[in-house]
A and B are shown apart, each in its own frame.
Chain A
Amino acid sequence: MNAVVVTGLGVTAPNGLGVEDYWEATLAGKSGIGRITRFDPSQYPSRLAGEIPGFAAEEHLPSRLLPQTDRMTRLALVAADWALADAGIQPQDLPGFDMGVVTASSSGGFEFGQGELQALWSKGSQYVSAYQSFAWFYAVNSGQISIRHGMKGPSSVIVSDQAGGLDAVAQARRQIRKGTPVVVSGAVDASICPWGWVAQLAAKRLTTRDEPSRAYLPFDGAADGYVPGEGGALLVMESEESARSRDARIYGEVAGYAATFDPAPGGERPPALRRAIELALEDAGLAADQVDVVFADASADPELDRIEAEAITGVFGPEAVPVTAPKTMTGRLYSGAAPLDLATAFLAIRDGVIPPTVHVTPSPDHAIDLVVDRPREAELRTALILARGHGGFNSAAIVRAFA
């Protein structure tokens, strides 16, 4: 059986730039959530975000790329560079058609688009950049990574809000099974600009609190919405054969995946998250008691928290498996969230430790064993990652250690 494995990780997160920086911060419970600094948020009902501090694109990327890229794409290009370096892959040494790129995107390059719209209405159409033709576009991260590294194999973008991060990895897995040896996958989202912000506010699921440690509290009785963030992770995925032929270090295997869609509001059917978990287990050929940790979607909306907790206890039993949401330290990164959780799961498996959910006092209404406050040592082989997108998307992925 030719498994699909992960050999490289690249992370850009509000609490850490680079894999080890992020992992150290995450185990230390260091949060990257604070008052927005990229614009003055005082006139908006929500004012907190997980911003990535200290990212200077010109230190990492050639000047040719800067005028044509949104912040989201710059972060994605750097995360891809780091993931490839981590995997020990020099793309120029591989045949172009043996490498593909599949990313997810939730909003596209909003900040770039906002600048061009401002130029359009204040100065006129001749002031709109030629690069607006693609710089805002959902598929731009896939395109720019593909061009930068000469990756001419199957490339695409998946748009399903926060679930997209797992859906992209699943699509990459399909492409590898169909014969492309190496695929860069995952997602980086970043739209903390006024235009991006009002778009996020429109869903009415953001917290309006101002105290970072009391703002994003999934599974807490005080949960009242989430804090958005920017960033995410890119992963180098390979066929087992490709990884073995290069003697690559293997973080683990993407062993299972499934996606379901919720019924329309007021419908007869139950929410479909539980079904996604069951189908992912079936795809991985695993029983529920073989899962060692669950990375929750953790929406911090009381109703969505209840649905998620019930899905987890429905499959695994009450308090039967440790559950964690390290995204309490980054905010919800939209399509970037689940790839970051995947990366975190591989690091957790590597080091035998479950990173914590911070600031949360679990509500007794949820019968889940939430790992809070500090990391918990545990022998880990298999992790389940959950992600839900606005509008009814549910995705579940299972990763496991690879012998």
Chain B
Amino acid sequence: METQQFTLDDLKRILIEGAGAEETVDLDGDIFDEDFEHLGYESLALLETGGRIEREYGIVLDDDILSESNTPRALIDAVNAQLGSGSQAA
């Protein structure tokens, strides 16, 4: 079975599609370990983002994953774990 990789670029694209981007935040900077809150994405924006990831990648994310993944790195790792690759985001 082919393993798919969920990357930071994928996450950024989905964040922007689903929730837009804060004008004062540079998503192209080093945001791996920035708090989602600092990036301008509150819980509802993450819920929307999680829903879009689930649809696109055909996976199911536990509600806990969304509420506990405070940073892009944590969410990317969680998604990749679901995708079966188990690989690190970076």
Q: Which residues of A are interface residues toward B (Cβ below 8 A)? A: 62-68, 126-127, 129-131, 133
Contacts and interface: CB of A to CB of B under 8 A. Distances in A.
B37 interface: no
Contacts of B44: 68, 130-131, 133
B51 A63 contact: no
B19 A67 contact: yes
A59 to B, nearest CB: 14
Contacts, number: 38
8 contacts: A62-B23, A63-B20, A67-B19, A67-B20, A68-B19, A68-B44, A130-B44, A130-B48
B37 to A, nearest CB: 13
Q: Which of A65, A127, A129 neighbours the largest number of chain B CB atoms within 10 Å of its CB?
A: A129
B47 A130 contact: yes
A133 B22 CA distance: 21
A63 B54 contact: no
Contacts of B17: 67
Contact of B19 (A64, A126, A133): A64
Nearest to A63: B20
Contacts of B86: none
A62 B22 contact: yes
Contacts of B16: 63
Nearest to B55: A126
Q: Which of B20, B23, B40, B54 neighbours the largest number of chain A CB atoms within 10 Å of its CB?
A: B20
A119 to B, nearest CB: 10
Interface string B17-57: 11111110000000000000000100011011001001100
Given A62-B23, A67-B18, 6 more contacts: A64-B20, A67-B20, A68-B44, A126-B51, A126-B55, A130-B45
Nearest to B48: A130
Contacts of B54: 126
B56 to A, nearest CB: 11
B21 A64 contact: yes
Contacts of B48: 67, 129-131
Contact of A66 (B20, B23, B45): B20
Nearest to A129: B48
Contacts of B23: 62-64
A64 B47 contact: no
A373 B82 CA distance: 68
A63 B40 CA distance: 11
Contacts of A64: 19-23, 40, 45
A160 B21 CA distance: 36
Contacts of B45: 64, 130
A100 to B, nearest CB: 23
Contacts of A67: 17-20, 48
Interface in B40-82: 40, 44-45, 47-48, 51, 54-55
B15 to A, nearest CB: 10
B32 to A, nearest CB: 21
Nearest to B24: A62
A7 B40 CA distance: 33
B40 to A, nearest CB: 6
Contact of A65 (B20, B47, B51, B55): B20
Nearest to A133: B44
A133 B48 CA distance: 11
Contacts of B20: 62-67
A130 B53 CA distance: 13
B76 to A, nearest CB: 20
Contacts of A68: 19, 44
